[in-house]
Each structure stands twice: as C-alpha cells, then as structure tokens.
Amino acid sequence: MPDRSSHCVGLSPSIDDRCNILILGSMPGEASLMAQEYYAHPSNRFWPLMAKLLNERDLPNAYTERISMLLRHHVALWDAIHSCDRAGSLDSDIRNAEANDFIKFLDKWKRIHTIGLNGGKAYAIFSKMNRSLFNRPDLRILKLPSTSPANARWRMDALLEAWKDLLFPPPSI
C-alpha cells in the first residue's frame, strides 16, 4: 500500500504578554489545519473542557472569542511539533516530527511557568526534544490526558479532574 501521508506544518502560537500557562498539543488534525484554528474538530473536547475549567458561563461559538477566552485567563496555545508527515489526524500516524524550539520560545515569553501537554504524543515529543526544561525549578510541566475524540475512554468528568491541576495547582507541601 502506498504511503498517503502529507507534510503538515503547525499553527502559530496563540499568546500574549500576560500568559503564564501554555497548553501544547502534538500537531493539529486535518480539520484544524484546514480551518487554521486550534481544536477545530467538533468532537474534540478541548473547548468545552476549557470553558468549564475557566468557569465560563457559555462556550463562545466564534474561534476568535474562544482564543480571547483563553487569553483573558492568561492561557496560551501551541504545539510540541512544528512539522511532520502524517496521513489523517491520528497522533499514532505522525512521522518525521520536527519539534518547536521551546528554549527560544520561553526566553521570549518569560511569564510562562506552567506547560500542560495535551496527550501522550505531545508529551513524548516535548520531553524527547526539551529534556533540559524538566530541570528548571521555575517551570511546571504536566502530562495531561488527550481531549481528542480518539481518547474516548476519558469522559468529561475525568478530564476535568485530571486537567484542574493545570489551572489550580495543589498547595505546596
């Protein structure tokens, strides 16, 4: 069977000077790349999850309003992978991944103190390419369960429980 993968290039980060939390996916899926919007697939639970975590009354419909919702709460979005080859949208099909440069990114965006990695592939790529960041005492890095519809075994209530530490860290002991 011939390889039907295509070369994918990720989206630009969604961030402003007030952001202190960074959420990283792996690589946007086909729907997101076509729309040029993070988490554009209607079955992805990212946006409903964030609205609940941020105690927003309603989930905005418009993408620009969704991004504004995150930025109001000092949350940035980007991806662990800059570019890759992939057929379809599954993380398991990602090949030849090139990581984004987080040393340079964090040097520019100095307020970031927490990084949440949305799913196993984001965590695997980020940790492989950014080992030194795990030693920084000023940086908290969390591996979070994926909000992808492919991760159906995680129901919304379990996702909420797992993701709450991103925004509300447990008190120091």
Catalytic residue list: 44
Beta bridge partners of 98: 83
Q: What 3 state SS string does 63-105 have? A: HHHHHHHHHHCCEEEEECEEEEEECCCCHHHCEEEEECCHHHH
Which tokens is 87 given?
Answer: 């057929």
Say which amino acid occupies 72.
R
CA gyration radius, the chain: 16
Q: What gap in Å lies between CA 128 and CA 172, rounded to an integer? A: 28
